[in-house]
Structure 1
Amino acid sequence: MAQMKLIPADNMKDKLWGKRGTPEREAMEAKLKEDVNAYIVGEAIRKARLAQNLTQEQLGERIGVQRAQISKLEKGTSVITLPTMSRVFQALGIATATLDLGVAGKIALW
């Protein structure tokens, strides 16, 4: 049986996207963080919608968008603005939300 050569993940990231601190690596990591955050928000929307036994179409009707837009938001493939996020969560009965800015404190979004 052939021997497999294992390469540490950090080495592969360096090879594919450049060393830490390079513009390419910083851009990749920023994009990855953005994608993960979009996924987390999308999952929150999906879980809240399913907890209320709503279809994507029903949620879309509540906020005035097509089912496809709700699908994109839930998958994290569409950029969600704060006004849209507010409309979605308020339509789901989530009355308040805050944004944690770390040392700058928390602010109410709606």
Structure 2
Amino acid sequence: MKNKKSNHTATKVIKTYSLAEMKDKYIGKIGTTDRDEYEYELRMDVLGKMIKTARQERHLTQEELGKLVGVQKAQISKLESSANSATIDTILKVFKALKAEINFNVKLEDNFVKLT
């Protein structure tokens, strides 16, 4: 008697994960040191990209923006790659030179302060 091959193929179930679940699993849960560092670095990277985009939309070179702000081109380049080493003062000067509106939201426990 010959063995018959089944034409029926098994369906493999793949478990999917949300981004939040992946962050919790591989970076750490919200409130952990690793997760806080990750979120901070991510925000600084986004801020740097915002600076670069605003500069490019205004057709300025890094050198031209640096002159408007009073810093070297290298500092603008560093800001655009990640703003984590910049002072708030420098970031404010950059956005002012770019004629960009800045809003800050500060939450201290149950109190919420919005600075515009």
TM-score normalised to structure 2 length: 0.67
CA RMSD of aligned residues (A): 2.6
Q: 1:4: which partner in 2?
A: none
Letter in 2 for 1:40: V
Q: Does 1:101 align with 2:106?
A: yes
- Are the aligned partners of 1:72 and 1:78 in contact in 2 as well (CA < 8 Å)? no
- Per-residue deviation at 1:42? 0.6
Mind listing any 5+ residue stretches in structure 2 that lack a counterpart?
A: 1-16
- Per-residue deviation at 1:67? 1.1
Letter in 1 for 2:102: A
Q: Does 1:87 align with 2:93?
A: yes
Q: 1:77 to 1:97 in 2, by over 3 A?
A: closer
Deviations 1:22-80 (A, max 9, x none): xxx81211111111010111111001100011111111111111111111111116422
Letter in 2 for 1:75: S
Aligned length: 94
- Are the aligned partners of 2:106 and 2:112 in contact in 1 as well (CA < 8 Å)? yes
Distance between the aligned counterparts of 1:10 and 1:65, measured in 2? 36
Mind listing any 5+ residue stretches in structure 1 that lack a counterpart?
A: 1-7
Q: 1:47: which partner in 2?
A: 53
Q: 1:58 to 1:106 in 2, by over 3 A?
A: same
Letter in 2 for 1:39: D
**Aligned sequence identity (%):** 29
TM-score normalised to structure 1 length: 0.70
- Are the aligned partners of 2:41 and 2:84 in contact in 1 as well (CA < 8 Å)? no
Distance between the aligned counterparts of 2:43 and 2:24, measured in 1? 25
Q: 1:26 to 1:99 in 2, by over 3 A?
A: same
